[in-house]
Amino acid sequence: MKTVYDFTVKNRAGEPVSLSEYKGKVLLIVNTATGCGFTPHYEPLEAMYKDLRDKGFEILDFPCNQFANQAPGSDDEIHEFCTVKFGTEFPQFMKIDVNGETADPLFAFLASEKPFEGFGKGLKNAALKKFSDMNNKTFGDKAYIKWNFTKFLVDREGRVIARFEPTVDMKDVRKAVEAAL
């Protein structure tokens, strides 16, 4: 059975990192953007990281510019923005694509393990769905991720156990992380 530990990604310097380095930890893998309405998620993500990393928790941050060009900077510019504005300390990797023919294989795997089930109810969620559908129509069946700040929770054995769309309250994400720990 395939797990996230079977994947290798690139750090901000472009060097390969095997996700097997995170064996035994609970992971929250997130595609992010610095110019998105959900960018403030960095604050509760960093708070969760500071509170729980000593218990075996890691957040893996993958910037992506495929959603309305909301992460246009270089890897270094994105990292500087996150560390200065939000004080992030969790690992940030090289900017990637999460959809289409150039999608990073890790995100194709994550989405196949926990497919999109909707943004939820309400006007805000309906508006995001409409915008997401327009943005992702060019990716067809390879529109794995619907928007920035989609989060995947991975257990200590490398299995994907939950998917959280950006519309999910961060308190609910934290509860799920704490339960996995």
Question: Domain segments of the chain: what residues?
Answer: 4-180
Domain 4-180 matching CATH 3.40.30.10: the answer reads: yes
131 vs 109, more confident: 109
Q: So what's the pLDDT on residue 50?
A: 97
Task: Using the predicted structure, report yes or no on whether residue 54 has a pLDDT greater than 90.
Answer: yes
Instruction: Give CA–CA dist 136/116, Å, rounded.
Output: 13
Could you tell me if 104 and 7 are in contact, meaning their C-beta atoms sit under 8 angstroms apart? no
Confidence label for 100 from pLDDT (cuts 50, 70 and 90): very high
Catalytic site residues? 36
Task: Using the predicted structure, report yes or no on whether residue 80 has a pLDDT greater than 90.
Answer: yes
Instruction: Give CA–CA dist 114/22, Å, rounded.
Output: 20
Confidence label for 145 from pLDDT (cuts 50, 70 and 90): very high
pTM: predicted TM-score of the whole model, two decimal places: 0.95
- Side-chain-side CA neighbours of residue 32 (13 Å): 28
